């Protein structure tokens, strides 16, 4: 897999329609949540075919959840679990598997997993997850890189205030609280649309949750959860990625299966840059960008509903060929500019000073051999290669395959000269 390359010849205008896949960052916590359902099946529609989702299915299977995929539908049955341990190899594959902790603990009273490794974005601490679960009565021993967790008397709901609206910590507390004794209140919780989608899933399973999407979530514990049928929300970051692919080639695209309301922080900036974007029908977004775009005003990444950190690299790629100077401030992750060096190899003019990146727009980029450094950094290289003069060869595709389903097929069918070898 790692020897694979995307070969992209830039300069082609993209025209046509791309159908979005379901949201990776919603499917993952929802697959963790299926562990909580002690009777009947969960039918999860619009579940994207991504390597991260496959990893989550392997973890669920290792716990004894019966999982099968039929196209974009995944069916799970967690009526009889056989383990409370997440194999180390699987924890290493995907650090967000820490979100299984709350669900396994709530369902079995035990959980053993290895500390999730850091990743390309810097150390990925889980202190907020662990302190919250301890406040709910979990006993968690950290030794030799393992977390050994138990709650012999079950978990008890309590009031938790997060020092940072962490997405993963909010999800872990929701998964722990939905079967806890009493009521759990999470203050300063994450407000991302994926939190809403997870709450919708849990409520369909019989959970009692109020306030998802606001900064206070109230969960009233119930005894058991049943399975349900749920459709995963659209992937808002994939939507931004394809919109930027259309804009950077001066093309004309329709993204279908989208929710424009989830990405207004990004499309607002793209309109100011000169893109013409509007949503129509139930779930379609239209974009054209004929003339050279202006640099974006200062882009500060923030928790939702602010500008999403996952879109920073992707919008930066678009701004490398816009007119003027763009300023990016990455406030969420410590090390999320690893794509800058690769964009500079393509002729971009970007300077990084701490958490600030200054992008001087250039007339054009030139194709080069580049390497994806992380999931969204890889997507940024695809955006840049689509407008670069000549051919680019992008490696590190395992990063891109974690979050994008059929990216080369999607782009080829709207006119890109792209192939995977």
Contact at 8 Å (CB) between 239 and 285? yes
Report, in Å, the least distance between residue 23 CB and ligand EPZ. 9
Give how many residues touch ligand EPZ by CB under 6 A: 22
* CA neighbor of 307 nearest in space, from 345, 261, 265, 249: 265
125 counts as binding ligand EPZ under rule CB under 6 A? yes
- Identified binder of ligand EPZ from the candidate list 31, 128, 273, 313, rule CB under 6 A: 128
317 counts as binding ligand EPZ under rule CB under 6 A? no
Report, in Å, the least distance between residue 240 CB and ligand EPZ. 11
Q: Which residue carries 């301890």 as its tokens?
A: 134
For the CA atoms of 335, 341, 343, 346, the dihedral, rounded to the nearest 10 degrees, stands at: -170
Token pair, residue 59, equals: 């973890």
373 counts as binding ligand EPZ under rule CB under 6 A? no
By CB under 6 A, the residues from 397 to 416 that bind ligand EPZ are 403
164 counts as binding ligand EPZ under rule CB under 6 A? yes
Q: Which long-range contacts (CB under 8 A, 24 or more apart) does 149-153 make?
A: 149/101, 149/105, 149/110, 149/111, 149/112, 150/105, 150/109, 150/110, 150/111, 151/105, 151/109, 152/109
372 counts as binding ligand EPZ under rule CB under 6 A? no
% helix, strand, coil for the chain, step of 5: 35, 30, 35
Q: Binding mask 36-65 vs ligand EPZ (x if CB under 6 A, - otherwise)?
A: ------------------------------
Stretch that binds ligand EPZ, among 72-80, 119-127, 275-283, 413-421 (CB under 6 A): 119-127
Q: 15 vs 146, which CB is nearer to ligand EPZ?
A: 146
Report, in Å, the least distance between residue 376 CB and ligand EPZ. 5
Q: 286 vs 404, which CB is nearer to ligand EPZ?
A: 404
Q: Which phi-psi region, left, alpha or beta, contains residue 67 (left: φ > 0; alpha: ψ -120 to 50)?
A: beta
149 counts as binding ligand EPZ under rule CB under 6 A? no
Between the CA of residue 171 and those of 75, 195, 330, what are the distances in Å? 21, 7, 23
Over its C-alpha atoms, the chain yields an Rg (Å, rounded) of 21
Q: Where do runs of H (alpha helix) occur along 306-406? A: 312-319, 339-345, 375-387, 397-403
- Tell how strand 225-226 and strand 37-39 pair up: parallel
Residues annotated as part of the active site: 119
Beta strands in 144-270 (DSSP E): 146-150, 159-161, 183-187, 208-210, 216-220, 225-226, 229-231, 252-256
By CB under 6 A, the residues from 284 to 303 that bind ligand EPZ are none
Contact at 8 Å (CB) between 237 and 255? no
- Identified binder of ligand EPZ from the candidate list 169, 175, 209, 258, rule CB under 6 A: 169
Report, in Å, the least distance between residue 165 CB and ligand EPZ. 7
332 counts as binding ligand EPZ under rule CB under 6 A? yes
Stretch that binds ligand EPZ, among 35-43, 103-111, 120-128, 266-274 (CB under 6 A): 120-128
309 counts as binding ligand EPZ under rule CB under 6 A? yes
126 counts as binding ligand EPZ under rule CB under 6 A? yes
φ, ψ of residue 74 to 5 degrees: the values are -115, 135
Instruction: Find the residue with minimal CB distance to ligand EPZ.
Output: 168
Stretch that binds ligand EPZ, among 121-129, 240-248, 313-321, 357-365 (CB under 6 A): 121-129
310 counts as binding ligand EPZ under rule CB under 6 A? yes
281 counts as binding ligand EPZ under rule CB under 6 A? no
- Identified binder of ligand EPZ from the candidate list 66, 118, 127, 280, rule CB under 6 A: 127
Whole-number Å distance between alpha carbons of 420 and 399: 14
- Identified binder of ligand EPZ from the candidate list 186, 376, 385, 386, rule CB under 6 A: 376
Token pair, residue 127, equals: 């202190």
Report, in Å, the least distance between residue 389 CB and ligand EPZ. 29
* CA neighbor of 28 nearest in space, from 99, 133, 120: 99
- Identified binder of ligand EPZ from the candidate list 8, 20, 28, 263, rule CB under 6 A: 28
Which residues make up the interface to ligand EPZ (CB under 6 A)?
24-25, 28, 96, 124-129, 164, 166-169, 309-310, 332-333, 375-376, 403
């Amino acid at each position: 897999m790692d020897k694979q390359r995307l070969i992209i010849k830039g300069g082609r205008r993209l025209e046509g329609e791309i159908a979005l896949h379901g949201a990776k960052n919603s499917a993952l916590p929802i697959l963790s949540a299926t562990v909580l359902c002690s009777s009947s099946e969960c039918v999860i529609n619009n579940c994207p075919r991504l390597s991260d989702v496959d990893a989550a299915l392997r973890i669920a299977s290792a716990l004894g959840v019966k999982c099968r995929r039929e196209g974009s539908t995944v069916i799970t049955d967690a009526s009889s679990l056989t383990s409370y341990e997440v194999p180390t190899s699987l924890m290493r594959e995907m650090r967000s598997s820490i979100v299984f902790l709350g669900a396994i603990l709530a369902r079995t009273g035990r959980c053993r997993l290895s500390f999730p490794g850091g990743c390309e974005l810097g150390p990925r601490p889980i202190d907020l997850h662990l302190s919250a679960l301890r406040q709910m009565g979990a006993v968690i021993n950290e030794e030799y890189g393992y977390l050994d967790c138990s709650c012999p008397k079950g978990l008890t709901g309590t009031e938790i205030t997060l020092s940072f609206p962490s997405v993963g910590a909010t999800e872990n507390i929701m998964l722990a609280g939905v079967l806890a004794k009493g009521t759990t209140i999470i203050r300063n919780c994450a407000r991302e649309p994926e939190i809403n989608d997870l709450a919708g899933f849990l409520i369909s399973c019989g959970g009692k949750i109020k306030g998802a999407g606001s900064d206070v979530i109230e969960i009233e514990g119930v005894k058991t959860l049943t399975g349900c049928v749920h459709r995963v929300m659209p992937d808002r970051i994939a939507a931004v990625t394809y919109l930027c692919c259309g804009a950077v080639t001066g093309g004309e695209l329709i993204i279908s299966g989208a929710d424009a309301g989830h990405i207004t922080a990004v499309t607002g900036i793209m309109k100011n840059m000169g893109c013409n974007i509007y949503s129509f029908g139930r779930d379609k977004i239209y974009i054209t960008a004929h003339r050279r775009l202006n640099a974006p005003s200062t882009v500060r990444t923030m928790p939702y509903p602010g500008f999403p950190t996952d879109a920073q690299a992707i919008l930066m790629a678009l701004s490398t060929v816009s007119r003027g100077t763009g300023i990016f401030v990455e406030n969420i992750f410590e090390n999320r500019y690893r794509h800058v060096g690769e964009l500079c190899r393509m002729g971009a003019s970007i300077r990084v000073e701490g958490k600030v990146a200054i992008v001087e727009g250039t007339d054009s980029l030139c194709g080069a051999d580049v390497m994806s450094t992380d999931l969204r950094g890889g997507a940024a290289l695809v955006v840049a290669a689509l407008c670069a003069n000549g051919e680019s060869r992008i490696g590190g595709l395992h990063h891109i395959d974690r979050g994008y389903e059929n990216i080369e097929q999607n782009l080829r069918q709207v006119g890109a000269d792209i192939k995977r070898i």
